Structure 1
Amino acid sequence: MSADFLASMAAGSRERVCAARRARPEAAVLAGLRGVPSPPPFLRSTGGFDLIAELKLRSPALGPLRDAGAEDIPARVTAYARAGAAAVSVLTEPSRFDGELAHLEAAARALAPLGVPAMRKDFLVDPYQVLEARLAGAGGVLVILRMLPRPELEALIDAALGQGLFALLEAFDEADIELAHELVEARLAQRERLLVGVNCRDLVTLQVVPGRLESLAARLPAQVARVAESGVVTPEDAARIAAAGYDLALVGSALMTGGDAGALARRMIAAGRSAKAAGG
């Protein structure tokens, strides 16, 4: 995922927005939202560590995921929720992740009775896509900080907050985190619906960078929930990043390729909470 990759993903995302607007103008989306119930809120547990479990059918680094299948989305996300996931991330990007909005809709529909929000994970470039997410039942969205100019990032974040959604601000390095501080400081009144995450994948090789999560943890804003993204594969990894100061882990590939995703999710949550308790 080089900078060129992000630019390519942004260009593809803009094309999707244009096509979506032609098919359904923004006024029609807003009208449709009037009949959509509020999504479940994002709530952290009292245990000190939580999990955002991810649904994705393909990974650019790993290719098609062995246990993935669109037909089992409701069962899979239900297993995540019953294991204790605080939220479920759903990929909707089609070209590299085989995602679509229908996956988000199916996940949100299954999760709503369980009180767990779904999060749209995509390369968002336009507030229209936030409205799409809300219409599909999402309770949150991912915002990639290094992909857009600041005014466009702020428009995405404010659109999400204005719709009652949470926003996960994704950072890769110190510069991204500095921007996250500024964005959070300007929105402290809504900090319960802001999360800041560190993605520890190298943007060129797609490989996990050892130590990045730990080295950047202390730089993250203390006023909001801190999320470790990528590189969390085992319960021991969950304990390690919890001890480093993270409040949540976002885990996708390990859950999608494991034999019993619910059991692995439970073990990760338990390990993270034990590490938090041990650290005081």
Structure 2
Amino acid sequence: MTGSSFLNRMARASRERVRLARAQESEAALQTRAMATADPPILQLGEFDLIAELKLRSPAAGSLVDPHFDRHSQLDAYANGGAAAISVLTEPDEFKGSLAHLQEAAAVLAPHGIPVMRKDFLIDAYQVLEAKAAGAGGILVIVTMLTDTEVQALLACARECGLFVLLEAFTAEDLARIAALAGVGPAAADAPLLCGVNCRDLKSLAVNFDRFAALAAYLPEGLTAVAESGVQGVDQIRALVLLGYRAVLVGSILMQSAEPGQAVARLIAAGTERRAEMRACS
């Protein structure tokens, strides 16, 4: 396990939120409520996929929305654009997210058959149960801020809840750990493991797109590789497909787009077309 001052601070705050939540609802009671929640839509992966993100604020850019921002309309646009899943920030301090936003998104997207993913600095299985109780179909786990034992606990709870997991890496060491961790426990076709590479520098919070190429050789076989952060347009999508990435997670540019649904569709089309070109040349 490695970390940065930013991740360490986020982990401490996350542990405190879990402590306070447990004081309000026991883990046993939460588990009962989570398991009584209707099963979420299953993640359906295609030729090339996009996870669109609902993010009101980022530490790097500040606020991403104006006072009149309509979350419901943004979610509908993502769904109509063809997003495979929607990532919802639930971290309240730096990202202004909440479990209420996750629950709202799950309700909006259920008729579309699209799952939502809880994106946060998860450190405890209690938070996986919170995600399931809110209607999530998946969670993001930042491997670099956790021990293998902690990751395994989150994975075990996610499997029990039927949630897909996006395991996020920043380094080749993270990817090696993900490859090993992916082989622990039974596989679930309806709750897959995905492997994400985040190109953001956790000290400066700047993006380094070259990281995707530097780590491409270390991507674990058998897991859908997801490029996270830094995607600005179709040229980058085409480059990522060549490197072996089969999905992207995109947030800021969609939050700032006047036509987010069209932007989603355009990025997916670029990736799908590049995949077709590669098959034709093979």
Q: Please classify the TM superposition score into its range, dividing by the shorter chain length.
A: over 0.9
Report if the CA contact (8 A) 1:239-1:268 is conserved.
no
Q: How many corresponding residue pairs?
A: 276
1:188 shift after superposition: 6.2
Q: 1:90 is matched with which residue: 65, 88, 91?
A: 88
CA distance, structure 2, for counterparts of residue 107 and residue 63 of structure 1: 22
Report if aligned partners of 2:35, 2:132 keep a CA contact under 8 Å in 1.
no
Write the mapping of 1:54-203 to structure 2, written as runs, cut at 5 A.
Answer: 54-66=53-65, 72-187=70-185, 189-190=187-188, 193-203=192-202
Contact kept? 2:35, 2:133, Cα under 8 Å = no
Partner AA of 1:19 in structure 2: L
* Cα drift, residue 223 of structure 1: 0.6
- 1:56, 1:68 within 8 Å by CA — same for their partners in 2? no
Aligned partners of 2:34 and 2:130 also within 8 Å: no
Query: Cα distance, 1:227 vs. partner?
Result: 0.2
Deviations 1:93-136 (A, max 9, x none): 01100000000000000011110000000000100000000000
Superposed displacement of residue 239, structure 1:
1.6
Amino acid in structure 2 at the alignment position of 1:152: E
Q: 1-side partners of 2:25 and 2:134: how far apart?
A: 14
Q: Partners of 1:217 and 1:242 in 2: how far apart?
A: 11
The 3-state SS of whatever aligns with 1:110 is helix
Greater shift in the superposed pair: 186-195 or 15-24: 186-195
Do the aligned partners of residues 187 and 30 (structure 1) sit closer, same or farther apart at CA in structure 2, a change above 3 Å counting?
Answer: closer
Q: Does 1:264 align with 2:275?
A: no
Displacement of 1:150: 1.2
Instruction: Check if 1:4 corresponds to 2:2.
Output: no
Relative to 1, partners in 2 of residues 1:97 and 1:244: Cα closer, same or farther, differing over 3 Å?
Answer: same
Q: Structure 1 residues 63, 50: CA separation in 2 closer, same or farther (over 3 Å shift)?
A: same
Structure 1 unmatched ranges of 5 or more: none
Contact 1:61 1:206 in 2 (8 A): yes
Q: CA deviation at 1:53?
A: 0.2
**AA paired with 1:53?**
A
Percent same amino acid among aligned pairs?
Answer: 49
Q: Establish whether residue 23 from structure 1 lines up as the match of residue 24 from structure 2.
A: yes
CA shift at 1:27, angstroms? 1.8
Structural mapping, 1:170-249, within 5 Å: 170-187=168-185, 189-190=187-188, 193-249=192-248
Corresponding letter in the other structure for 1:82: N
Runs of 5+ consecutive residues of structure 2 not aligned to the other structure? none
CA distance in 2, matches of 1:100, 1:62: 19
SS at match of 2:180: helix
Secondary structure of 1:105's partner?
helix
- CA RMSD after TM alignment: 1.4
Answer whether contact 2:58 2:95 (CA < 8 A) is retained.
yes
Distance in 2 (CA, whole Å) between partners of 1:237 and 1:210 is 9
Counterpart contact for 2:106–2:135, Cα < 8 Å: yes
Distance 1:133 1:234 in 2: 31
The TM-score with structure 2 as length reference comes to: 0.94
- Per the TM alignment, residue 248 of structure 1 is displaced from its structure 2 partner at its CA by 0.4
Aligned-pair CA distance for 1:189: 2.5
189-198 or 55-64: bigger deviation:
189-198
Structure 1 counterpart SS, 2:203: coil
Q: Is the Cα–Cα contact under 8 Å of residues 148 and 181 in structure 2 kept in the other structure? A: no
Counterpart-to-counterpart distance in 1, 2:209 and 2:263: 22
Q: CA deviation at 1:270?
A: 0.3
Distance 1:267 1:196 in 2: 23
Distance in 2 separating the partners of 1:226 and 1:132: 26
2-structure distance, mates of 1:212, 1:170:
13
Give me the whole-angstrom Cα distance separating, in 2, the residues matched to 1:67 and 1:272.
30
Letter in structure 2 aligned against 1:114:
H
**Matched residues in 1 for 2:186 and 2:227: separation?**
21
